[in-house]
Amino acid sequence: MKNRLILLFVSLALTFTAVNAQVYQFRGDNRSGKFPNESGLLKQWPEAGPKVLLEFSGIGDGYSSVISNGKYIYASGMIGDEDFLTCIDFNGNKKWQVAYGTAWNQSFPGTRGSVTIDGDRLYVISGTGELSCLNAETGAKIWYKNVHADYNGEFHTWGCSESPLIVDNMVICTPGGSTTSMVAFNKMTGAEIWKTASVGGARGYVSPALYEINGEKLIIGATAGHLLAVKPETGVIKASYKYFDNTKWRFQPNGMIWCANPVVKGNQIFISLGYNYSEGAKMLKLNSSNTAFEVVYTNQVLDNHHGGIVEVDGKLYGSNWLSNNDGNWVCLDWATGNTLYETKWTSKGSIVYADGLLYVYDEKSGEMGIMKPDPSGFNIISKFKVAKGNGEHWAHPYFLDGKMFHRHGNVLTVYSLK
């Protein structure tokens, strides 16, 4: 009897650990682009940039973020026709490199989805919509689902850019298509837990995130045409907002090029598309029962492409779209939608926030800069050029323990920010 109680206790402890493990993911907590646990970071950089702790070449091509749990560094990349996940230790040694799915090899090939770390397991989606669960220590495949094929998913123009979401005992992704818009699997076994109804249209390029809104937990996600508020316990779509209007966008009939994660604060949600979409960026709010979205205001300036937007002290910061190779940097007032500045740097790019500073990464020049979140103007304090690597400068930086993790194509770099 005593042994049985011990075994039961151990089993329950392991289950609790598996469900409540620390999660490390694309764009940090809530995928907000903010890293609140970082402190004591440099407020100005040496002329050559912060100290390089390690460089590693050979992760494969792609634009996904490098993610770390503090023990290992994980990077997804396209090698040949497959997507690979590479595990590197902090001495720069490759621990393992394993294939996890078929790569997106059409327009702009390369990995786009970042790995999500949940305790001793890794979750990653290939460019063609295959979801894999891997052992974080060995890279061994625990389970695999071809979500795109199994759920009749529908691609937009550039494949799958999603990073999986962990909620309690579930891993969640958004295949789009006519069968379902979002699916939840048991994160330990891969068994389906629920699937939503379909709102129609292709998958988007947004990664879902979990928020508490009006006292209720909701998954906020998007297809290429609709914003979704999904109840995580059941998969019921409590509210949806149709952002895409095919009469106002003639280039792709099954949705928009929606890359920027929604920005959520309270019961309000800011959404944005690039390409001068005539509907503009929208501030929405959920009603008190979370059953309907209402438009608060429209802004025609901050039409973000794929670099993301962050909210700091009631202001929104990000870059807009003037063309595929050009854009300005913008600050909006969260409450009113008034444009506080629109400034030329070199081009548009990605943005994140840590320890009182905005980190901006220009996609044309490859310059990485820091600046204060100041609504009176865009003023770079320090900058350096990311010289090594290949391809577009599209990856979003990631932060942990005073370090900045970054990739440019095939090359991974870790910088010390202390």
Distances in Å between the alpha carbon of 295 and those of 178, 310, 323, 336, 339?
A: 27, 20, 27, 12, 18
In a domain, 8, yes or no: no
Mean pLDDT for 257-284 is 95
The pLDDT tens digits for 105-149 are: 999 999 999 999 999 999 999 999 999 999 999 999 999 999 999
Select the more confidently predicted residue: 3 or 55: 55
Q: Is residue 4 part of a domain?
A: no
Q: Of 96-105, 252-261, 295-304, where does mean pLDDT reach its minimum?
A: 252-261
Using only C-alpha atoms, what is the Rg of the chain?
21
Rounded Cα gap, residues 166 and 143, in angstroms: 16
Whole-number Å distance between alpha carbons of 328 and 270? 19
C-beta of residue 140 within 8 angstroms of C-beta of residue 109: no
For residue range 184-226, what is the model confidence (pLDDT) as tens digits? 999 999 999 999 999 999 999 999 999 999 999 999 999 999 9
Distances (CA, A) of 240 to 169, 207, 226, 411: 25, 16, 6, 39
Q: What is the CATH number of the domain that holds 285?
A: 2.130.10.10
Give the chain's domain count.
1
Where b means 16+ CB within 10 Å and e means fewer, 130-160 reads bbbbbebeebeebbebbbbeebebbbbebbb
**Which residue, among 171, 80, 175, 69, has the nearest Cα to 124 in the 3D structure?**
171
pLDDT band at 253 (very low <50, low <70, confident <90, very high): confident
Question: Does residue 317 belong to any structural domain of this protein?
Answer: yes
Does pLDDT of 8 surpass 80? no
| pLDDT interval class at 20 (50, 70, 90) | low
Residue 15 has a pLDDT of: 43
CA 1 to chain CA centroid, nearest Å: 48
When pLDDT is cut at 50, 70 and 90, the band that residue 13 belongs to is: very low
Token couple for 79: 């090698």
Residue 318 lies in a domain: yes
Count Cβ atoms within 10 A of the Cβ of residue 283 and give its class: 0-12 exposed, 13-18 middle, 19 or more buried: buried
Mean pLDDT of 329-337: 98
Split at pLDDT 50, 70, 90, the class of 231 is very high
| Interval 235-239 mean pLDDT | 98
Q: Is residue 243 part of a domain?
A: yes
CB atoms within 10 A of CB 322: 16
Residue 165 burial (C-beta neighbours within 10 Å; 0-12, 13-18, 19+): buried
Which residues contact residue 59 at a Cβ distance below 8 angstroms, ignoring those fewer than 6 apart?
75, 76, 77, 84, 86, 407, 410, 411, 412
What's the pLDDT band for 5 if we cut at 50, 70, 90? very low
Inside any domain, residue 286 = yes
Half-sphere exposure in the Cβ direction for 166 (13 Å, CA):
25
Residue in the block written with tokens 């026709």: 81
H helices, E strands: number in the chain: 2, 33
Of residues 112 and 7, the one with the higher pLDDT is: 112
Q: Provide the pLDDT for residue 19.
A: 53
Q: Can you say how many angstroms the Cα of residue 50 is from the centroid of all Cα atoms in its chain?
A: 24
DSSP state of 34: B
| Domain assignment present for 105 | yes
Mean per-residue pLDDT for 276-298? Answer: 97
pLDDT mean across residues, the chain: 94
pLDDT for the residue numbered 255: 86
% of the chain surpassing 70 pLDDT: 95
Alpha carbons 156 and 331: distance in angstroms, whole number? 30
Q: For residues 354 and 35, is the Cβ–Cβ distance under 8 A?
A: yes
The more confident residue out of 29 and 57 is: 57
Is residue 9 assigned to a domain? no
What local confidence, expressed as pLDDT, does residue 309 receive? 98
Cβ atoms of 172 and 181 closer than 8 Å: no
Q: How many residues does the chain have?
A: 418
What pLDDT does 182 receive?
Answer: 98
User: With DSSP H G I counted as helix, E B as strand and the rest as coil, what are the percentages for the chain, rounded to 5?
Assistant: 5, 45, 50
CB 360 within 8 A of CB 349: yes
Residue/partner pairs of 332-338 with CB below 8 Å, 24 or more apart: 332/299, 332/301, 332/302, 333/375, 334/265, 334/268, 334/270, 334/283, 336/297, 337/283, 337/296, 337/297, 337/298, 337/299
Domain coverage including residue 126:
23-416
> Residue 12: pLDDT above 60?
no
Element (H, E) at 68: strand 67-68
Query: Tell me, what's the pLDDT at 6?
Result: 41
| Residue showing tokens 């509210």 | 239
Query: What DSSP string describes 343-403?
Result: E-SSS-EEEEEETTEEEEEETTT-EEEEE---TT---EEEEEE--SS-S---PPPEEETTE
Cα gap 1→361, rounded to integer Å? 60
pLDDT tens per residue across span 75-116: 999 999 999 999 999 999 999 999 999 999 999 999 999 999
Q: Using alpha carbons only, give the angle 130, 134, 138 rounded to the nearest 5 degrees.
A: 145
